[in-house]
Structure 1
Amino acid sequence: MNQIDKYIQAATRDNTRKSYRSAIEHYETVWGGFLPATADGIASYLAHYAPTLAISTLKLRLAAIAAWHNDQGFPDPTKLPHVKKVLKGIAELHPVVQKQAKPIQIDQLAHLVNSFDGFIKNGSSKEALQSIRDKALLLIGFWRAFRSDELARLCVEHIQAEAGKGMEIFVPRSKGDHSRLGRRYKAPALQQLCPVEAYLDWVNVAQLQIGPIFRSINRWGQISEEALHPASIIGIIKQCCTRADIDGANLFSSHSLRRGFATWANAQGWDAKSLMEYVGWKDVKSAMRYIEVADPFSQQLLANGQPTKIGSD
């Protein structure tokens, strides 16, 4: 591979390449489509799988087909009006309610930290090591509202932390950083549930000086050289919630930390602009999707669950 090919490959994430390869294989092998494709062929493909595949999956398949045509120098048929109308019609006739991760509330976060501290004190050496790592993972993830891919990319050389003063975190790239410039974040030093202390404890115990912060730990308690995969962070969060006996552990995901912080900040009276700047959202609509607000009629409900009379008939 020459230098140009190396940079071209680096421009696309590994997960994206794998997803695109899978999508092209599905179109050609499973569906029996031909490449280069026509607008009619793609429209037929969309119509066939509309009842069984989510609109987000169909859009991913279209993105893969578009990328293939662009890479091979062919006109992109997915941008033609015929294909766009079919996709719009599918969205109208097959609406999907978007699933949202259950937010981790601040009291649940405190319960998780107590669980970690218990394993650190009384668990096996492996359980203690995992708990120190997971404590740092969840506290940094919550207070900085990081996604799982951002947590997986954190590196020791990109963080400056000092006990009692806070930490500065540089994230080289993230979902919304289309220009690939990276962004610096600050995390607070707190009296309780402190992400700075948790981070320093983990780095010291794991003796990390360079490279990924959050790494896998094998059955013998050995720490990997490689970063955790973003998908595995979801499993870690579910497992931590299960071990801490938190109800609905299977409903949590990596977005639970992001939603949990947004919900907490909203309850503390943060205005939308401050929250957007802190987390990195570009528009209010994105922020509102992550905030779980209280039921506006909750104060009108009786203890027996029957609604009171609101106004006159």
Structure 2
Amino acid sequence: MTSARAAGTYRTYASAWRRFERWCAAHGHPALPAHPVTVAAYLVDTADTLTPDGRRAYAPATLARWVAAIAHHHRTARHPVPTGDEIVRTTLSGIRRDYAGAGDRPRTPRAPLLVEDVVTLVAAVRRGVTGWASEILERRDSALLLMGFAGAFRRSELVGLACGDVRVHRLDGLHVALRRSKTDQEGTGTVRALPFTTGHLSCPPCAYLRWAQVVAASDTGGRPAVIALLRTTPAFDAHVCRGPHPLTLPELPLFRSIRGNGNLSDTALSGAAVHKAIRRLAEQAGYDEHLIARLGGHSLRAGFVTQAFRNGADAHAIMRQTGHTTVGMLEVYAREHAPLIGNAVTTIGL
């Protein structure tokens, strides 16, 4: 394997390949090289797997990832790739049609968080501060929400940020260096700008500076330095983003897990923790439980795209921030979350 693929892709492919090997061994077929008919039979057998409550166990997108893993291992071993054969493509297409016709395993996109939602969640977490430990959590979660939304970051991109990836720009706000992303596996890198805003409470640079102060204090002086910082810092009632940049250690992760006693870990926050944090904040803000169940780490990125469409931004302007490489991917967000934008139904005169 080369380093051109992300570590997460390696793990996914390795797990999928082990599963295929086990299935082949149980059914008496060679896994490498595999015959196209073997792969097709594997897909059919997997698609027919049910959960104890009678639902399909695996979504079509999961099967497609497994097919990609089989192809990858064959290419790596310099064997003919069976997944490109017509019988495999036809089988996978037929499974998708069968699932769609039966209404099984429908796609369940994360609900978007729009500007009003992000502001509401930030306000709720700030109201919940009762001491220095909860203020640390507030500063991190506020930065997570505002930077995640304004930067249209995937949760993997957020948790992958190091302290040295962010700098304050005197004109633009924040410049966040994204060293690698889902659509930039070669690691070419890009910069996303998170602008200053009129109000300090919703200002991504302000949120970043407040969190970076805690990170810098923790890295240089530990718990006593953090407590001293919070005791002596004036109330957050105006912009702080034009102030001095805290001296963080550039190689350490920016967003970190926080222990129950308020101590910062050196460990980067996980993607699952971002998912849980957003749901926790929505619950704290009093959101309906059914909506909370549809929220997750992708809600910030989906919210950026949806809000931008609703505010009249064109697809290419949105892609400048999101890093999407095709307009078609943005259309998915438009269809699901902003179906009336640019829709002729609003002009027919009913």
Do the two structures share a fold, i.e. TM-score over 0.5? Answer: yes
Alignment of 1:84-103 (within 5 A): 84-95=89-100, 97-103=106-112
Q: C-alpha offsets along residues 210-249 of structure 1, whole Å, 9 cap, x if unaligned? A: 2211111122222121211223211111111111212221
Query: Which of 62, 65, 71 is equivalent to 2:67?
Result: 62
Q: 1:271 matched to which residue of 2?
A: 314
* Identity over aligned pairs, percent: 29
Q: 2:51 matched to which residue of 1?
A: none
Q: 2:7 matched to which residue of 1?
A: 14
CA–CA distance in structure 1, aligned partners of residues 86 and 276 of structure 2:
41
Cα 1:279–1:13 change in 2 (3 A) is closer
Q: 1:293 matched to which residue of 2?
A: 338
In the alignment, structure 1 residue 34 sits paired with structure 2 residue 10: no
| Letter aligned with residue 215 of structure 1 | R
Cα 1:15–1:82 change in 2 (3 A) is same
| Letter aligned with residue 71 of structure 1 | T
Q: 1:304 matched to which residue of 2?
A: none
Cα 1:164–1:126 change in 2 (3 A) is farther
Cα 1:104–1:50 change in 2 (3 A) is same
| Letter aligned with residue 267 of structure 2 | E
Give unmatched runs, 5+ long, in structure 2: 49-55, 217-247
Q: 2:249 matched to which residue of 1?
A: 209
Q: 2:81 matched to which residue of 1?
A: 76
In the alignment, structure 1 residue 146 sits paired with structure 2 residue 186: no
Q: 2:47 matched to which residue of 1?
A: 50
CA–CA distance in structure 2, aligned partners of residues 188 and 239 of structure 1:
27
In the alignment, structure 1 residue 133 sits paired with structure 2 residue 140: yes
The alignment covers a number of residue pairs equal to 293
Cα 1:294–1:60 change in 2 (3 A) is closer
Query: Which of 261, 265, 284 is equivalent to 2:304?
Result: 261
Q: Normalising by the residue count of structure 2, what TM-score does the alignment of the two structures yield?
A: 0.77
CA–CA distance in structure 2, aligned partners of residues 289 and 143 of structure 1:
20
Q: What displacement does 1:290 show?
A: 2.1
For residue 293 of structure 2, give the secondary structure of its aligned residue in structure 1.
helix
CA–CA distance in structure 2, aligned partners of residues 133 and 287 of structure 1:
29
CA–CA distance in structure 1, aligned partners of residues 259 and 3 of structure 2:
29
Give unmatched runs, 5+ long, in structure 1: 1-7, 301-309
Alignment of 1:132-211 (within 5 A): 132-161=139-168, 166-192=173-199, 193-207=202-216, 208-210=248-250, 211=252
CA–CA distance in structure 2, aligned partners of residues 274 and 13 of structure 1:
27
Q: C-alpha offsets along residues 156-179 of structure 1, whole Å, 9 cap, x if unaligned? A: 212111578511111001011143
Cα 1:179–1:97 change in 2 (3 A) is same
| Letter aligned with residue 209 of structure 1 | L
**8 A contact 2:21–2:31 mirrored in 1:** yes
For residue 101 of structure 1, give the secondary structure of its aligned residue in structure 2.
coil
Cα 1:179–1:28 change in 2 (3 A) is closer
Q: 2:230 matched to which residue of 1?
A: none
Q: C-alpha offsets along residues 24-50 of structure 1, whole Å, 9 cap, x if unaligned? A: 222222562532111111111111122
For residue 251 of structure 1, give the secondary structure of its aligned residue in structure 2.
coil
Higher RCO, Cα 8 Å, sep 6+:
2
CA–CA distance in structure 2, aligned partners of residues 63 and 295 of structure 1:
36
Q: What displacement does 1:75 show?
A: 1.7
Q: 2:273 matched to which residue of 1?
A: 232
Q: 1:115 matched to which residue of 2?
A: 124
Q: 1:5 matched to which residue of 2?
A: none
**8 A contact 1:272–1:284 mirrored in 2:** yes
CA–CA distance in structure 2, aligned partners of residues 27 and 271 of structure 1:
43
Q: Normalising by the residue count of structure 1, what TM-score does the alignment of the two structures yield?
A: 0.85
**8 A contact 2:39–2:83 mirrored in 1:** yes
Cα 1:34–1:190 change in 2 (3 A) is same
Q: 2:239 matched to which residue of 1?
A: none
**8 A contact 1:166–1:187 mirrored in 2:** yes
CA–CA distance in structure 2, aligned partners of residues 239 and 126 of structure 1:
17
Cα 1:286–1:45 change in 2 (3 A) is same
**8 A contact 1:108–1:246 mirrored in 2:** no
For residue 199 of structure 1, give the secondary structure of its aligned residue in structure 2.
helix
CA–CA distance in structure 2, aligned partners of residues 77 and 283 of structure 1:
28
CA–CA distance in structure 2, aligned partners of residues 217 and 99 of structure 1:
30
**8 A contact 2:4–2:185 mirrored in 1:** no
Cα 1:233–1:163 change in 2 (3 A) is farther
Alignment RMSD, CA only? 2.5
Q: What displacement does 1:97 show?
A: 3.4
